[in-house]
Chains A and B, each alone.
Chain A
Amino acid sequence: MTAILFQRFLVCGLRGIAPFLTFFYLASVAIAQQNGPRSVLVLYGEKAELPAIVAVKSGLDAALTSDKNVEVYSEFLDFARFPAQTAIQEFASHLRSRYFGRKFDLVVTVAGSALNFALDHRESLFAGAPIVFCSVDRREVDGGHLPPGVIGFPITFDFRRTLDLAFRLQPNTKEVVCIAGTASFDQLWAEECRKVLDGYGGKFTYRFIGTGPIDETLLLVRKLPADTIVLYISTLRDGQGRSFLPVEVAGRVVQQSNVPVYGLASNQLEQGIVGGSLFDFGAHGVETGDLCRKVLADEMLESGSLQPAKPNRLLLNWLALNKWHLAQSRIPKETIVRFREPSLWEEHPKLVVGVIVTAILGTTLVVVLLRSVTRLRRTKRELDDRLRFEQLVAALSARFVSARFEKVDDEINGTLSDVSKAMGLDRCALLELCCEEGDVRISHQPPGNGVDVTPSPVPNLQLPWFFRQISKGRTIALRDVAKDLPAEAIQEKDFCREFGINAALVLPLFQRGTAARAVVYAKVDRYQMWPESVISELESIGQIFGSALERKQAEELLRESAATLSLATLSADLGLWSRDLRTNQIWATHRTRNMYDFPADAAFTFSRFLESLHPDDRPSTEKAIEQAVAEGQDYNLEYRVIRGNGAIRWIAARGRVIYNAAGQPMKMMGASFDITERKQRELDTARHRLEMAHLGRVALMGELTASLAHELNQPLTAIVSNAAAGERFLDRGVVDLRELHELLHDIVTDGERAGKIIRGIREMIKKGEVTRGQVDMNQVVNDVVRLTKSDALSRSCTVVAELGPRHVWVEADPVQLQQVLLNLVLNSFDAMRDTPVELRRVVLSTRSDVNGIVQTGVRDFGTGLSENARKRIFEHFFSTKEEGLGMGLAIARSIVESFGGMLDARNAPGRGAVFYFVLPACHNAGAA
């Protein structure tokens, strides 16, 4: 469907665009015709295949088309073959019809025939376009009768310089033989040459040949006398009227001639002429093309017809030089030598180097090979041994790698046996040497060796010298035990003598702590050289033992620590888990699954985990975990899990996010821990504290009974008296309504007062939860002052309040704070029991400082605190009173601390003590 739509769109588009395209095309053509591509017609006088034409054309085309703006059209007159007038007319017609309507900016002619044609038909065909000519004989364009707008380069044959070169190379030349054909071109140049030859003033003779048949000419040159040179000019036509390509003829002449041949055109050089000042058709074409460009750019309007051409270059053919043994030293400096045969080195350097290197290598190889024939034989033998040994080692390694942890010891023993056999040893064993004394324990040895493996050090066998060497990692190679053991190794000598050991090799394996392990290889009743190779082989085997043993020890440790870990986690009741953050699958240990009441076989997912949580804890837990993942922080949570049977367990969990190399969260790992008991204890402790506080309050209330009774009695008295008075007034008939009204009002007020006191009592003795709120400390102090007024009176104490600012807010439970203050105040009364009456004062003070600390103090003027009392006064069951329980201050302190405060006491200046507690201020200027 879309294809069809697209097609339609395209067609519509194209239709729409077409007019624009046409317009642009025509416009571009018009523009192009103005300052766009220039049209250049190149007329070649001869056929396209002529080598000279080809050379000129290539140069001309290259030069012309270097400007992209030039369009070149080439036509070939082929005058030599079609000289007839009719042919020319036909050619003109051909041009006319072909290029009808085209305007040429330039016409280029190559060869005289083309130039003539162009001049003839300039107006009729080319609308007077400028003409650039080339490849013409100078004399054809001489005379200055060229019309304006016609310029170009003639061919120049440089006879003079060519001959000079020839005479330089061959100073003894006696005769110059010039070859020129019968064509007008040939003869014209021959004429030119003659003039030049005459200019040499008879130093040599010359003659011209070539006007006869070509074969004749060729014959002639075969038998030329020495000290003759041949100068080939041109043979476009021979005596028989046959047409030739000069370059071909030149080649044939070279072949036939028995003397050096010189020429005048560059394309003859490769035919074998020695050289000369050679005209280069290709360069000529390039030159012409450059001139054309200048003409197109209107740069040559003032120039004359004939342009100065670059001089021909002196070129030499190296091969020809050598063929004629012409001295190289005579070569003029400015000569270009062609066809120099590079030496083999120059031509194929890599090959030469290769050959030399190969030769050297080859020789070396041969020498080396020759020298190591014998060594090969020996090596082969050694290799065989090596192979056998390696096979043994490989077999041993394989055996230990695959050996089960419990079987390692047996394998070692078996291996020791195999090794002794393979290496031709009598004894071998693994020893464990310990401590400076060198206690020896034989840990492994081949079965049936005569000495049993000992689990503990062999009594009376101590090899301290061995131990010292082994613990330094030194190999002990004893060819002859008696001779090679040093004087101090007495015990070792005894040992060897006892076991009949004559030669021994002791190799250290490894050390662990103070014990060093070594393997001992020994020969009985014989001596052993212990060459390096043998030692190294045995060391290799020893290493296998060593690593097997180490592995065994490591595995033992690992099993132990795994068991310990398992034990630890078991006893710690940790549940380990790991959650893949992409799939939300959870891997968990049995304990974890158990904790969350999840079956062992079902897939444990994060959502399933959330479901297992207590609904009240679920949202906060989920949020905290998400936050931890987002911020990359560990999380540390406590939450409840509801098990299948409805039981609730408290779990403490800690999790950590693990990132991959790109920093993306990959998984979360953590541990969960059942803290139900601890939580329970916490809750119990909290409850216990509450109960204790409650009991404390009840006790206080008990102490305050008198005060409370008094507080109640006042309003009751007033009520009763008021009511009785009212009755009496009414009895007497004395009814002052206003008085009565006041009286009744007072009764109500006092009733409320009494009610408040009762409520206060109830509050104090209520068990109740702690209710935190904003409490004005000043209010609490005032309440306490009132409550203790009666008690103060009964003990003849005065209670004074020194309050700070108007309101001093803290966040606490007012009832409990009251409890604390009451306790302190009553204590103060007790402290002043023996104080003179006039000094008995209790000062309650509140103070709020800038740091947000509220300090409340209770100061008395009693006996003060002894050092002992000050230290112990807040302890449970410590009391300085006879009838005291000693709980009050302990409870008071725990209450203050539960609100984030601190309760302490110190002696006051003068006399007495001050009990003070601090609480953090509650920053709220609002009303309670």
Chain B
Amino acid sequence: MPVLPDSLVFIIDDDASVRRALGRLLASAGYPFETFASARAFLARTPYPGPCCIILDFRMPGCNGLELQKNLAAAGREEQIIFITGHGDIPTCADAMKAGAIDFLPKPFRDGELLGAVARSLDRAGRLFRESKERAEIQTRIDRLTPREREVMQLVIAGKLNKNIADELEASEKTIKVHRGRVMQKMQVFSVAELVRLTEKVGIHPPATGDRTKV
């Protein structure tokens, strides 16, 4: 499976031998990686601006894996986590999975299992990373809009005609037409449908019909 550029795998395990072995395994599969002996050591590293996943030993002295997962989620970080464990903690794996872990692998696992999980997680990480970037781009465009323009955009994605928008906003149709043009330009779209798509991506939805809402 082609490795996405800029992806990175983090290995967090307190057993040195296991760290080394997993590192080699990843290297053999072409994944760049970094190893950490503890969760704390990992958190001290600045977050990686790219798709990455974490192979995380479920039980470690100090901050254990589940906690780390919670911390990261709370911080809004999107690293994908693969739990590995030597303890046979099957009952707790349900919690882990619910919290969004990619996989939960009891040691010893086959190399294919781990690498598959890594691929999946990086895949997802990549996707998420892309989506995030896209959203950020869209948001930048929206940030360039003036408030008036934003109001107009809001009503355009609702499918309203210029005449109706003018009435609603108590401006002339001509003004509205100008605004509309600028919105389309700033947003770098060529159709209303595209605009709607973009704004949906950043979570802006048209108001419900019949509602006279102020933007």
Question: Which A residues have a C-beta under 8 Å from some C-beta of B?
Answer: 706, 709-711, 713-722, 724-729, 732, 734, 739, 743, 746, 749-750, 753, 789-790, 792-794, 796, 798
- Given contacts A710-B87, A717-B21, A718-B17, whether A793 and B64 have CB atoms under 8 Å apart is yes
23 A-B residue pairs with CB within 8 Å: A706-B87, A709-B86, A710-B86, A711-B86, A714-B86, A717-B21, A718-B15, A720-B110, A721-B24, A721-B111, A722-B25, A724-B25, A724-B28, A725-B27, A725-B111, A739-B24, A743-B24, A750-B21, A790-B87, A792-B61, A793-B60, A794-B87, A794-B89
CA distance A724 to B17 in the complex (A): 15
The distance from the CB of A792 to the nearest CB of chain B, in whole angstroms, is 8
The distance from the CB of B199 to the nearest CB of chain A, in whole angstroms, is 46
CA distance A706 to B85 in the complex (A): 12
| Residues of A contacting B88 in the complex (Cβ-Cβ under 8 angstroms) | 706, 709-710
Given A717-B84, A722-B20, A728-B25, 12 additional A-B pairs, CB 8 A: A717-B107, A718-B21, A720-B109, A720-B111, A721-B24, A721-B25, A721-B111, A722-B21, A724-B28, A725-B25, A727-B28, A734-B28
Q: Assess the B17–A746 pair: CB atoms within 8 A.
A: yes
Q: Assess the B87–A725 pair: CB atoms within 8 A.
A: no
| Contact with B21, one of A719, A732, A790 (Cβ below 8 angstroms) | A719
A-B pairs, 4 with minimum CB distance: A724-B111, A728-B28, A713-B86, A721-B21
CA distance A749 to B18 in the complex (A): 12
Flag whether B29 is at the interface (Cβ < 8 A): yes
CA distance A867 to B24 in the complex (A): 56
| Residues of A contacting B89 in the complex (Cβ-Cβ under 8 angstroms) | 794
Query: A709: nearest residue on chain B (CB-CB)?
Result: B88
The distance from the CB of B16 to the nearest CB of chain A, in whole angstroms, is 9
| Residues of A contacting B17 in the complex (Cβ-Cβ under 8 angstroms) | 714-715, 718, 746, 749-750, 753
- Given contacts A717-B18, A722-B25, A725-B27, whether A790 and B86 have CB atoms under 8 Å apart is yes
- Given contacts A717-B107, A720-B111, A728-B28, whether A746 and B21 have CB atoms under 8 Å apart is yes
Flag whether B22 is at the interface (Cβ < 8 A): yes
The distance from the CB of B82 to the nearest CB of chain A, in whole angstroms, is 13
* Interface of A, helix, strand, loop or mixed by DSSP: helix
Give the interface size class of chain B: 20 to 34
Q: Assess the A717–B111 pair: CB atoms within 8 A.
A: no
Q: Which residues of B in the span 1-41 have a Cβ within 8 Å of any Cβ on A?
A: 15, 17-18, 20-22, 24-25, 27-30
| Residues of B contacting A713 in the complex (Cβ-Cβ under 8 angstroms) | 86, 106-108
| Contact with B22, one of A709, A721, A749 (Cβ below 8 angstroms) | A721
Q: Assess the A722–B86 pair: CB atoms within 8 A.
A: no
CA distance A790 to B61 in the complex (A): 9
Q: Assess the B24–A714 pair: CB atoms within 8 A.
A: no
Flag whether B59 is at the interface (Cβ < 8 A): yes
Q: Assess the B87–A793 pair: CB atoms within 8 A.
A: yes
The distance from the CB of A799 to the nearest CB of chain B, in whole angstroms, is 9
CA distance A365 to B88 in the complex (A): 134
The distance from the CB of A549 to the nearest CB of chain B, in whole angstroms, is 93
CA distance A749 to B61 in the complex (A): 24
Q: Write out, one digit per residue, whether chain B residues 34-78 have a CB within 8 A of any chain A CB (1) or not (0).
A: 000000000000000000000000011100100000000000000
| Residues of B contacting A796 in the complex (Cβ-Cβ under 8 angstroms) | 64
Interface centre among B29, B64, B87, B106 (most CB of A within 10 A): B87
Flag whether B118 is at the interface (Cβ < 8 A): no
| Residues of B contacting A725 in the complex (Cβ-Cβ under 8 angstroms) | 21, 24-25, 27-28, 111
CA distance A625 to B97 in the complex (A): 80
Query: B60: nearest residue on chain A (CB-CB)?
Result: A793
Q: Assess the A729–B18 pair: CB atoms within 8 A.
A: no
Q: Assess the B87–A714 pair: CB atoms within 8 A.
A: no
Q: Assess the A722–B87 pair: CB atoms within 8 A.
A: no
Q: Assess the B86–A729 pair: CB atoms within 8 A.
A: no
Query: A739: nearest residue on chain B (CB-CB)?
Result: B24
The distance from the CB of A605 to the nearest CB of chain B, in whole angstroms, is 73
Q: Assess the B24–A717 pair: CB atoms within 8 A.
A: no
The distance from the CB of B106 to the nearest CB of chain A, in whole angstroms, is 8
Q: Assess the B87–A729 pair: CB atoms within 8 A.
A: no
The distance from the CB of B194 to the nearest CB of chain A, in whole angstroms, is 44
| Residues of A contacting B25 in the complex (Cβ-Cβ under 8 angstroms) | 721-722, 724-725, 728
The distance from the CB of A224 to the nearest CB of chain B, in whole angstroms, is 168
Q: Assess the B59–A722 pair: CB atoms within 8 A.
A: no
